[in-house]
Amino acid sequence: MIDSKTLTQFNIEEQQKISGATGELTLVISDIATACKAISNGLKNGALADMLGSLDNENVQGETQKKMDVLSNDIMLHVHRHFGHVAAMASEEMEEIVYIPDNVKYGKYLVVFDPLDGSSNMDVNAPLGTIFSVLRAPAGITSPTTQDFLQPGTQQVCAGYAVYGPSTMMVLTTGNGVNGFTLSQDIGEFILTHPQIRIPEDAEEFAVNMSNQRFWEAPVKRYIDECVQGKDGPRGKDFNMRWVACMAAEVHRILMRGGIFMYPMDEKLKAKGLGGKLRLMYEANPMSMLVEQAGGASTTGRERILDLQPDDIHQRVPVVLGAKNEVERVTRYHQE
């Protein structure tokens, strides 16, 4: 496998294809990869390193922070603060955006991330992830504000995630297809193992938290109900179901073997005044860019996710993504 390209080699080659590229994005991606290696390492020893369980504090979303949430966030902040290739950052774990210290060189990118996605999986030794999105800081801005982050997903220059499963992988796009890299435990490098990933247009596998079924809206109820009826229902084929409770692992499975994933709007979320479960800027947007770049589709059910104009860094949205024909069907059910 080592005769394949490393993530750094791959990104330098990609960068050389773009005239006028300064190499700064390659450096940002390389910092993210460094952080993901450190997070992967932090996860590895689990209970032996006293890394299971929660802390007493809550994050901005009112969720109890796990020890690994805090460590992963610190790692992501540290690499970007230290190496100075970004202008500012925003994280699921922090209410406000984070600035780069004055003594560090300013970069031209904004990085938004969910440092540890699916963190409840930590205590049960199931897969976890890190999700990230890179945006351009508006030209001429040296001190970005929260407003400067609120760009639609179509403006992302890079999107990706790391998934920490039996092996650690990083999957990313810079708008020219989707490529997957596996972390070599031997040489500590991400190696290109999954070039130009494509999602099949049809699917026989769905991922949704079925325990919320009675709270869903009618179009989602109809779609899932038809899948569950299998061969005997209107779809005329059997479906399989998965729920890993980690969006990164869920999207990864879809990129590897197809399917549809959804966290739709429901009555419980509505009652809490939330626009959905998943966060637009550091979950839905980066995953939507990846899925679209791999030939799939992504919507709230009513609108293309990448077209949404964010009004808050921590805004939540309903998400339906994956196999193109299945996502189009869900969209059609919302229109009917």
Give the tokens for residue 173. Answer: 């796009």
Site string for ligand FDP, 130-169 (x = CB under 6 A): ----------------------------------------
Instruction: Pick from 52, 141, 245, 256 the residue near ligand FDP by CB under 6 A.
Output: 245
Query: How many other CB atoms sit within 10 Å of the CB of residue 220?
Result: 23
Choices 1-9, 12-20, 133-141, 241-249; region in contact with ligand FDP by CB under 6 A: 241-249
Site string for ligand FDP, 177-216 (x = CB under 6 A): --------------------------------x-------
Binding site partner of 245, from Zn ion, ligand FDP, none, Cβ cut-off 5-8 A by kind: ligand FDP
Name the residue whose CB lies closest to Zn ion: 117
Spatial contact of 192 and 181, defined as CB atoms under 8 Å apart: yes
Choices 29-37, 231-239, 240-248, 284-292; region in contact with ligand FDP by CB under 6 A: 240-248
Residue 288 as a binder of ligand FDP (CB under 6 A): the answer is no
**Alpha-helix runs per DSSP H in the chain:** 7-16, 24-44, 67-83, 146-149, 218-229, 247-257, 267-271, 285-293, 324-335
Site string for Zn ion, 81-120 (x = CB under 5 A): ---------------------------------x--x---
Report which secondary-structure segment, H or E, holds 197.
none
Question: Among 325, 1, 285, which Cα is nearest to 152's?
Answer: 285
Spatial contact of 327 and 298, defined as CB atoms under 8 Å apart: yes
CA atoms lying within 13 Å on the CB side of residue 265: 16
Q: Measured between alpha carbons, how far is 124 from 109 in angstroms, rounded to an integer?
A: 36
Cβ proximity to ligand FDP: between 63 and 74 the closer is 63
Which stretches of the chain bind ligand FDP, using CB under 6 A?
117-120, 209, 245-247, 250, 278, 283
